[in-house]
Amino acid sequence: MTLYTPPFSNLQSIILEQCTPTSPKPLAIITPFLYSHVQSAVICCAQFGLNIRIRSGGHDYEGLSYTSRDHIPFILLDLNQLRSVEVDLDSKTTWVESGATLGELYYWVSQKSDILGFPAGECPSVGVGGQLCGGGFGMLARKYGLSVDNVVDARLVDVNGRILDRDSMGKDWFWAVRGGGGGSFGVVVSWKINLVYVPPTVTVFSLSKPLDENGTQLVHKWQHVAPNVTNDLFINLIITPVIQEVDAGSSWMMQVTINSLFLGTTNELLEIVSDVFPELGLQAKDCIQMSWIESVVYYSFYLRGQSIDVLKDRPAMPKSYFKVKSDYVTKPIPIDALEEIWKWCLRANLSLLIEPHGGKMSEIDETETPYPHREGNLYMIQYIMGWDDEDRGFKACKRYVGWVRRVYEKMRPYVSKNPRGAYVNFRDLDLGTNCNACGANYGEARRWGRKYFRGNFRRLAIVKGMVDPTNFFSNEQSIPPLVLSSSY
Ligand SMILES: Cc1cc2nc3c(=O)[nH]c(=O)nc-3n(C[C@H](O)[C@H](O)[C@H](O)COP(=O)(O)OP(=O)(O)OC[C@H]3O[C@@H](n4cnc5c(N)ncnc54)[C@H](O)[C@@H]3O)c2cc1C
């Protein structure tokens, strides 16, 4: 067993700013170096009636880890110094602390073995803490499921300042922690994860096509292929407006980029693709063989071309401003509807990131973890509206957010229903919020809670009622306590 303990350096966690310059600030920022510091912080805040916001990597889409919409006084508990990664090759497990980034986790695992990896998100600056609290979807999901499907233990500081593990938490609490969303069930300080096998050579490709040529047909076919093909192949789509040069000048058009990670060699990949997706016209020259850890850097667009060592340096993403919403699709969208959708996106300057489900994701029962979007879901969509710093004025921000909301509304006929699903790690306060100043209400919270968790929401609320009945760990979308009069 090896222990990596990082130096206490001038680390900066990424802060994705909220729109308004008047966003409430914390009364203090506490940066624990030891678990006992976390325990003291929780006990003090509970005693003085202060709300606590827990930040691991700071990537929450709505900033819930470092600000409070309700303007209630809060302390920010920043876990960025709790980031050790202990890899145990014998058991193929790792204890990783919540303040580590995914990039650090991937890097330190790769330093011990070139055939072990971990299924989690594609952005290396995301924090382990927030990501594992909400699920953890990435390019290994079709092969191995979500991050939380591979969590075997966790250490958590509860509302009374106790440190608990899987055994002392008990079955329901441990279930809730693995995907029930951050900030509800305690401060998870570390996670024990199962590492997964990755071959020494993987193959990637990234092809861009204009949607007005045969791109729409490719997207249409992709809907049938990507969720059903071998679990070793992950193909996602980025659909985005781009400027094209034409004789008369330049104009905007929609483009699809087809990105893939294949757990095998180029020859094996070409054989599969020519069989199931010949329309793609994939050729050997489009494919690059590399190690799995190199593919992590390849798909971190702002790091592409750099050495894998960059992952251990916790490089911050370029600062950006955005609003994201999410959906699940259960039936392929017809071609004419796709063409209509491209028009909406072009008009709104909106990008779509479309990620396939199927494979292992469908084999896991929807009640096994709080993440319920399993069998029957073909893919998930993120609607991404980004804008530049200079556009940051409050009015501009409202305009951009309005555009993404409008496209989301128009998408209703093509996406999951009753409830319309959303992914809790793609936090979206438009779906509904608690009123923390006036007390969270289970009945009202069902409106947004069932979108994230479907039938699992009730069980999450019951667990919350058992482990934190006074709702100490709370934010705008934390799980409200449901206290039952008799045991369930
Ligand atoms: C650029 C970008 C790319 C992304 N890519 C992916 C992706 O590929 N796949 C994917 O699944 N998701 C992705 N996400 C979403 C991401 O998983 C979530 O935003 C996640 O919650 C971020 O974790 P964090 O620790 O960085 O965030 P934080 O903002 O620190 O935390 C998020 C939430 O969890 C709570 N929390 C944080 N740490 C703890 C803890 N230790 N104990 C209890 N509660 C805690 C916070 O209070 C907050 O409510 C991406 C987000 C961004 C911004």
Residues 127-146: tens digit of each pLDDT:
999 999 999 999 999 999 99
State the distance from the centre of ligand 1 to the C-alpha of 66, rounded, in angstroms.
12
Burial of 43 (0-12, 13-18, 19+ CB in 10 A): middle
As for ligand 1, residues whose beta carbon falls within 6 Å of it are 16, 53-61, 64-65, 79, 98, 121-123, 126-127, 129-131, 133-138, 182-183, 187-188, 317, 425, 475
Cis peptide preceding 210, ω within 30 of 0: no
Give the CA count within 13 Å in the CB-facing half-sphere of 151: 31
Ligand 1 test: best mutation among 37, 68, 82, 425, most atoms within 8 Å of CB?
Answer: 425
- Looking at residue 321, its pLDDT comes to 87
DSSP codes, 9-28: ----------S-TT----SE
Residues 202-255: tens digit of each pLDDT:
999 999 999 988 899 999 999 999 999 999 999 999 999 999 887 778 899 999
Ligand 1 test: best mutation among 38, 53, 59, most atoms within 8 Å of CB?
Answer: 59
Task: State the greatest distance between any 2 C-alpha atoms of the chain, in Å, as a whole number.
Answer: 74
Q: Model confidence at 7, in pLDDT bands (50, 70, 90)? A: very low
**Count of C-beta atoms within a 10 Å radius of residue 454:** 20
Q: Model confidence at 316, in pLDDT bands (50, 70, 90)? A: confident
- Looking at residue 392, its pLDDT comes to 67
pLDDT at 17 over 60: no
Q: Model confidence at 319, in pLDDT bands (50, 70, 90)? A: confident
The overall average pLDDT reported for the chain is 92
Ligand 1 test: best mutation among 35, 38, 56, most atoms within 8 Å of CB?
Answer: 56
The answer to whether 98 touches 79, Cβ cutoff 8 Å, is yes
Q: Model confidence at 151, in pLDDT bands (50, 70, 90)? A: very high
Q: Model confidence at 15, in pLDDT bands (50, 70, 90)? A: very low
Name residue 145's beta-bridge partners.
none
d(CA 260, CA 306): 19
Residue 301: which H helix or E strand, with range?
A: none
Average pLDDT over residues 337-364: 97
Ligand 1 test: best mutation among 42, 55, 78, most atoms within 8 Å of CB?
Answer: 55
Give the CA radius of gyration of the chain. 22
- Looking at residue 315, its pLDDT comes to 85
DSSP letter at 391?
G
Q: Looking at ligand 1, which atom is closest to the CA of residue 186?
A: 43
Residues 263-280: tens digit of each pLDDT:
999 999 999 999 999 999
Query: Of 436, 434, 433, 435, whose CA–CA distance to 49 is shortest?
Result: 436
The answer to whether 279 touches 214, Cβ cutoff 8 Å, is yes
- Looking at residue 292, its pLDDT comes to 98
pLDDT at 1 over 90: no
Give the CA count within 13 Å in the CB-facing half-sphere of 361: 34
Residue 225: which H helix or E strand, with range?
A: helix 216-225
Query: CA angle 231-236-242, nearest 5°?
Result: 170
Residue 409: which H helix or E strand, with range?
A: helix 394-410
State the distance from the centre of ligand 1 to the C-alpha of 387, rounded, in angstroms.
21
Residues 371-424: tens digit of each pLDDT:
999 999 999 999 999 988 777 677 788 899 999 999 999 999 999 999 999 999
Q: What is the pTM of this model?
A: 0.94
- Looking at residue 437, its pLDDT comes to 64
What are the extents of the domains in the chain?
2-197, 202-414
State the distance from the centre of ligand 1 to the C-alpha of 276, rounded, in angstroms.
35
- Looking at residue 488, its pLDDT comes to 45
Average pLDDT over residues 150-166: 98
Read off the tokens for 22: 């008047």
Q: Does domain 2-197 have CATH number 3.30.465.10?
A: yes
pLDDT at 435 over 90: no
State the distance from the centre of ligand 1 to the C-alpha of 390, rounded, in angstroms.
26
Residues 46-105: tens digit of each pLDDT:
999 999 999 999 999 999 999 988 778 999 999 999 999 999 999 999 999 999 999 999
**Count of C-beta atoms within a 10 Å radius of residue 18:** 17
Q: Does domain 202-414 have CATH number 3.40.462.20?
A: yes
Q: Looking at ligand 1, which atom is closest to the CA of residue 122?
A: 8
- Looking at residue 486, its pLDDT comes to 59
State the distance from the centre of ligand 1 to the C-alpha of 120, rounded, in angstroms.
11
- Looking at residue 2, its pLDDT comes to 28
Residues 460-469: tens digit of each pLDDT:
999 999 999 9
